[in-house]
Structure 1
Amino acid sequence: MSGSLSLLQQRHSVPSRQLGEPAPDEATLHALLEAAIRVPDHGKLVPFRLIRLQEEAKLRFGERLTAIAIRNSPDMSEAKLEKERLRYTFAPLVMVVVACLHADSKVPEIEQKLCAGNVAYNILLGAYALGYGAQWLTGWAAYDREVATILGLAEDEHVIGFIHLGTPQLEVPDRDRPVLADLLGTWTP
């Protein structure tokens, strides 16, 4: 059985700064995303969508976010501004996973967000299975409504995460993981 679980046992994030070319080609990316959207979806709402950032668009997106950062924190250091500007440029591809919430549904909002979160996690798993690296990041931009407007999100849409994809440029050691015995309990009446 452990062979069947090896993907889950070995998957780890690769920092976006350590992701380089190549990204998945168009056919591989399409297959990866087709697999990633096969998630539990109570009510069959499809409460998610994807936005691709690549090539020059990644830098332009970072520049727009830098302008927001300057307005929000005019005293931000040049180093931090440069970090904002370049944040999305390291990995060759960034997928934005968006939750599309249906307020009129009987399905609770949290379940809809979890559905979209499963899409993000499936992208991470799928990328690892295909030999690529990935990192799921959020940061302030994921929660900022002005950034949502830049991305063309509707009022009922929210960024779940920015999934940075590419080929690992360095071997990344796994981090310490929690101990199951510390987390698992048994309920008894």
Structure 2
Amino acid sequence: MPTLTPGERHDSVLTFLERRKSVPLSLFRGPGPDAPTLRRLIGIAARVPDHGRLEPWRFIIYRPDDGARIGEALAELALERNPQMREDELDRERKRLSRAPVAVGVVSTAADHERIPVWEQFLSAGAAAMNLVTAATACGFAVNWVTGWYSDDAEARAILGLSPDERMAGVVHIGNHDAAVPDRPRPDVDALISDYAGPATP
């Protein structure tokens, strides 16, 4: 694959990134990406900063049938955790991974390393999730990145296919939609920027 030419501009890419937005899961419908497209998207997802080339992430593909089974198990576990849950809340758990034609779990496999801190590895998994979001959106799909309570619950992670030492950086839902999605208010960029003013005061 050819590399980018130094100094080469891609203004259309900048415009695309300025317009990207998530699609509410309630608007999702089929179809999702076919197998070759999904493989290409995941290849792009893996093309991220990765200090030490540790590849501290992996990807799990959840189809609707998988999502239905997982949803039932998550609903049962959620009810154990909170017996006061309402039926509509349990129904939301049942549908958690089956609202899109395809959901991709971006799993952080970060581990202790003599030179590379775990938090850097977590960031790499987050970058992989964002690459997947961006690439799928560029293909015209509806996309939404969700990280739920299951990432911090060992039993829930096991239901999702994760080992005890792994964490779910996020589940990226991919499908299609018909309705226009209005943009939401965005941050005031100027309020986020400052020039370096010397060491911080303790």
Which residue, 122, 131, 149 being the options, matches 2:140?
131
Post-superposition offset of 1:31 = 0.8
Higher-Rg member (1/2)? 2
CA deviations on 1:14-46 (whole Å, 9 max, x unpaired) are 112211101011111111111111000001100
Q: Comparing both structures, which one devotes a greater share of its residues to strand?
A: 1
For 2:181, the aligned partner's letter is V
SS of the residue aligned with 1:51? Answer: strand
Runs of 4 or more, structure 1, over 3 Å off, are none
For 1:130, the aligned partner's letter is C
Work out whether residues 64 and 100 of structure 2, in 8 Å CA contact, stay in contact via their aligned partners in 1: no
SS of the residue aligned with 1:106? Answer: coil
Correspondence for 1:20: 29
After superposing the two structures, state which structure 1 stretch, 139-148 or 60-69, moved more.
139-148
SS of the residue aligned with 2:67? Answer: helix
Q: What is the 5 A alignment of 1:113-152?
A: 113-152=122-161
Post-superposition offset of 1:188 = 4.0
SS of the residue aligned with 1:168? Answer: coil
Runs of 5+ in structure 2 lacking a partner? 1-8
Correspondence for 1:163: 172
Across the aligned residues of Structure 1 and Structure 2, the Cα RMSD in angstroms comes to 1.3
Identity of aligned residues (%): 38
Runs of 5+ in structure 1 lacking a partner? none
Q: How many residue pairs align between the two structures?
A: 189
For 1:135, the aligned partner's letter is N
Partners of 1:42 and 1:105 in 2: CA distance:
12
Partners of 1:43 and 1:154 in 2: CA distance:
23
Determine if the alignment matches structure 1 residue 5 to structure 2 residue 14.
yes
Which structure has the higher relative contact order (CA within 8 Å, separation 6+)?
1
Post-superposition offset of 1:4 = 3.4
Work out whether residues 64 and 99 of structure 2, in 8 Å CA contact, stay in contact via their aligned partners in 1: no
SS of the residue aligned with 1:155? Answer: coil
Determine if the alignment matches structure 1 residue 38 to structure 2 residue 50.
no
Partners of 1:149 and 1:4 in 2: CA distance:
38
Q: What is the 5 A alignment of 1:76-95?
A: 76-95=85-104
Work out whether residues 18 and 91 of structure 1, in 8 Å CA contact, stay in contact via their aligned partners in 2: no
